[in-house]
């Protein structure tokens, strides 16, 4: 519990509410009055532009809309430190084997932010008001944005940009147009209230916008011990940053393998952690043999409401990189472990577990097995630390319909050459569950475990051939690029020969790599099938298929 104490301590320093309804941010150096009852939304610690988000207490329903539309009003504070303008350009960092390429193109101002992050606007928009004024000795630009076209319902965004010597703060209020009038005064109070306070930390300086490409932390060159240490360190770093950035009302709760950062009901969080532990225990038991690698602790974000989850995920930075992700869970009304939140949680935890336990295997699993396992784990229901696989009625009925309509693929075909587009998620899920339960007998006894063991072997063999081919393609591309550097691009006016846009060198290289990857995948699928199921006769296949149909029906 020591971590919780540290977390709360940091909160006291950096996000302490000075008085009721006032939000103080000593990292960015501002304070602002927040409407009564509005919640402060958690944001990823890697967020570098949006300083704060607040969510209205009531969900508002649109009166004008093409269908049912409802939204909580939101207030954001976005910071534009002037110093960031100097940080333009590409930056390559090589630190301890981790190569990161960042394209730095900081937002020039609020208008640039709106243009480039138009996802939050949600439709065709225009600035209906743009006026200058002065408040408390500093310049303020007042904007109003009307979102009227190709939107689910019209919105209004009212923003005041407060200009200071070192930073501009945009206070942005977004609301359904139908409710704007009733909130105008409330917004005005908040918009006017922004003021500076002393900073206790330097202004956030990382000015990365756009994509961030993490080229890789090359774990393959590490010993298992080094890998374990690297993973532990990364987890601790990430957790520390995230705990530092937690707003008021959030807490930390731990179990053996997971840390939940939550603002949901404590009981719900406890149940989410218990479910995660049960899933982990099932994974260890069923798939513990697939590799020796260390699986670090995982971070789960448990939100009280869907809006808070959306606010968290909707920032300018949200990376889904390997090993860096957090699993998001939302407490739904009357939350029960039979709701889809827990299904999603189980599937994500399984993917995380497999990728840490045996990364090569997790990246090279044939579609039917990868998707099937995901579906199988979605059906995990937990009780007293144990998992029971129990598909819900909807999935069961969908599977029955597929069988009834004669659209189910024979199992042999699925295992031997199944293409993603031919299979439904219901069937692959059902088949995996079958193999791990009723089908786990006779000639298919321990079939999943044997299939995985064979996969590991085959992947290792195929990986060698693939890596060789990949090195060849990359070398070829490198030579072509070097040859290209010397002179101009070959220009041609011959347009008749070209039916479609010719691929660029990078695209050609990508296509070749894709082809090599496909060759590898096809070989893995065929060989793993042969080694695991090669001894089954036609009669065995018929019987197996019939057994599965009975199971699924």
Partner 1 sequence: MMRTVLALLLAATIAPADVIVLLDGRVFEFDSIEKKGDDYVIRLQNGEVVVPGATVASSYGTTAEGDLVPRTEEEKKKFAKGLRPWDGKWIKKSKWDRKVAAYDEERRRRVEQMKERRLWRNHVTVETKRFTFKHTLPDPVFEEYKLLFESYYKFFTKYWKIRPSPKFGKVTINIFHDRESFQQVGGAGGGVVGYYMPLRRDLNFYVDRENRAYTIDVMFHEGNHMLSHMIDEKFWYPWWVGEGMAEYFGASEWNPRTGEMKIGLLQSGRLAVLKEQFKDESKRLKLDTLVQTRGMGAIGYAWAWSFCHFLLSTPKYEKNFKRFFLGLARARGVRRVPRGMGFLTVEGPEVKRLLLKYLKVKDIETLEREWYQYIQDVLKLTKEADVDWANAGYVMSIYGEHAKARKFFKRAIDRGSNDPFVLYGYAQLKLMQRMPGIALKYAKKAVESDALHARAWMLQGQALMAQGDTDEGMRLLKLARELDPEDQQIWFALTAAEEAARRVKEQGG
Residues engaged in binding partner 1 (CB under 8 A): 66-67, 88-89, 115, 123-130, 149-151, 488-489, 491-493, 495-496, 498-502
Q: Which is nearer to partner 1, 129 or 464 (CB)?
A: 129
50-55 and 74-81 strand pairing: antiparallel
Secondary structure letter of residue 385 according to DSSP:
T
245: DSSP letter: T
Q: Shortest approach of partner 1 to residue 121 CB, angstroms? A: 9
Cβ 62 to partner 1, closest distance in Å?
13
Report in angstroms how near the CB of residue 115 gets to partner 1 at its nearest. 8
Report, in Å, the least distance between residue 491 CB and partner 1.
4
How far from the centroid of its chain's Cα atoms is residue 113's Cα?
Answer: 22
Q: Are strands 298-303 and 327-330 parallel, antiparallel or unpaired?
A: parallel
Contacts of 310 (CB under 8 A, 6+ apart): none
> Closest separation between CB of residue 154 and partner 1, Å?
10
Closest distance to partner 1 from the beta carbon of 133 (Å): 18
Of 150 and 485, CB closest to partner 1: 150
| Residue whose entry in the numeric block shows the structure tokens 């709106």 | 114
Closest approach, Cβ 142 to partner 1, in A, equals 13
Kindly tell me which of 24 and 82 has the beta carbon lying closer to partner 1: 82
Nearest approach, Cβ of residue 104 and partner 1 (Å): 12
Whole-number Cα distances in Å, 360 to 13, 117, 227, 291, 463 = 43, 36, 15, 10, 9
Q: Which two tokens stand for residue 509?
A: 């290289």
Nearest residue (CB) to partner 1, 58 versus 149? 149
What is the spatial distance between Cα 239 and Cα 243, in angstroms, rounded to a whole number? Answer: 6
Continuous H helices in 288-337: 306-313
Q: How far is the CB of 147 from partner 1 (least distance, A)?
A: 8
Counting beta carbons within 10 angstroms of the beta carbon of residue 537, is it exposed (0 to 12), middle (13 to 18) or buried (19 or more)?
exposed
If the CB atoms of residues 130 and 226 are measured against partner 1, the closer one turns out to be: 130
| Torsion angle of C-alpha atoms 110, 113, 118, 121, degrees rounded to 10 | -30
- Distance of closest approach, residue 389 Cβ to partner 1, in angstroms: 36
Q: What is the DSSP letter of 351?
A: H
Q: Are 253 and 21 in contact (CB under 8 A)?
A: no
Q: Are the beta carbons of 456 and 538 closer than 8 angstroms?
A: no
Tell me whether residue 211 or residue 500 sits nearer to partner 1 (CB atom): 500
* C-beta closer to partner 1: residue 90 or 333: 90
Nearer to partner 1, 495 or 538 (CB): 495
C-alpha span between 41 and 129 (Å, rounded): 28
**Closer residue to partner 1 (CB): 24 or 104:** 104
Q: Three-class SS of residue 427?
A: helix
Residue whose CB is less far from partner 1, 35 or 65: 65
Query: Residue 361 is inside which H or E element, if any?
Result: helix 359-364
* In contact, 319 and 100? CB cutoff 8 Å: no
Torsion of CA 256, 261, 266, 271, to 10 degrees: -50
């Amino acid at each position: 519990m020591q971590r919780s104490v540290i977390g709360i301590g940091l909160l006291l320093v950096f996000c302490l509410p000075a008085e009721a309804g006032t939000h103080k941010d000593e990292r960015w150096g501002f304070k602002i009055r927040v409407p009564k009852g509005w919640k402060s939304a958690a944001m990823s610690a890697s967020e570098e532009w949006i300083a704060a988000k607040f969510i209205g207490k009531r969900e508002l329903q649109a009166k004008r809309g093409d269908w049912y539309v409802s939204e909580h009003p939101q207030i954001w504070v976005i910071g534009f430190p002037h110093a960031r303008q100097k940080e333009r350009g590409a930056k390559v960092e090589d630190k301890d084997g981790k190569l990161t390429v960042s394209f730095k193109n900081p937002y020039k101002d609020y208008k640039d932010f709106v243009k480039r992050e138009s996802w939050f606007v949600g439709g065709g928009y225009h600035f209906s008001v743009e006026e200058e004024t002065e408040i408390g000795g500093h310049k303020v630009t007042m904007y109003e944005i009307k979102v009227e076209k190709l939107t689910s319902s019209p919105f209004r965004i009212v923003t005041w940009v407060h200009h200071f010597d070192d930073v501009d703060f945009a206070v942005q209020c977004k609301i359904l147009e139908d409710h704007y009038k009733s909130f105008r005064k409330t917004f005005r109070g908040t918009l006017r209230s922004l003021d500076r306070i002393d900073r206790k930390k330097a202004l956030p300086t990382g000015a990365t916008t756009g994509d961030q490409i993490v080229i890789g932390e090359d774990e393959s060159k590490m010993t298992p011990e080094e890998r374990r240490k690297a993973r532990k360190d990364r987890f601790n770093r990430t957790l520390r940053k995230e705990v530092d950035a937690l707003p008021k009302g959030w807490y930390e709760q731990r179990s053996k393998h997971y840390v939940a950062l939550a603002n949901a009901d404590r009981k719900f969080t406890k149940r989410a952690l218990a479910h995660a532990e049960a899933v982990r225990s099932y994974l260890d038991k069923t798939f513990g043999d697939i590799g020796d690698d260390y699986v670090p602790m995982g971070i789960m974000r448990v939100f009280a409401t869907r809006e808070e989850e959306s606010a968290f995920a909707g920032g300018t930075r949200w990376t889904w990189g390997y090993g860096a992700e957090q699993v998001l869970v939302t407490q739904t009304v009357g939350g029960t472990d039979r709701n889809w939140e827990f299904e999603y949680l189980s599937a994500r935890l399984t993917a995380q577990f497999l990728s840490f336990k045996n990364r090569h295997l997790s990246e090279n699993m044939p579609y039917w097995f990868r998707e099937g396992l995901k579906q199988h784990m979605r059906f995990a229901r937990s009780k007293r630390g144990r998992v029971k696989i129990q598909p819900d009625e909807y999935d069961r009925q969908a599977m029955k319909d597929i069988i009834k309509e004669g659209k189910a693929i024979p199992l042999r075909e699925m295992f031997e050459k199944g293409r993603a587009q031919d299979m439904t998620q219901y069937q692959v899920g059902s088949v995996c569950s079958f193999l791990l339960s009723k089908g786990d007998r006779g000639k298919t006894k321990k079939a999943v475990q044997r299939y995985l063991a064979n996969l590991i072997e085959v992947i290792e063999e195929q990986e060698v051939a693939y890596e060789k081919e990949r090195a060849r393609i990359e070398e070829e591309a490198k030579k072509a690029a070097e040859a290209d550097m010397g002179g101009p691009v070959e220009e041609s006016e011959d347009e008749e020969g070209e039916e479609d846009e010719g691929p660029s060198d990078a695209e050609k290289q990508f296509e070749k790599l894709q082809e090599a990857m496909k060759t590898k995948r096809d070989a893995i699928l065929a060989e793993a099938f042969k080694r695991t199921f090669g001894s089954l006769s036609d009669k065995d296949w018929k019987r197996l298929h019939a057994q599965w149909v009975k199971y699924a029906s």
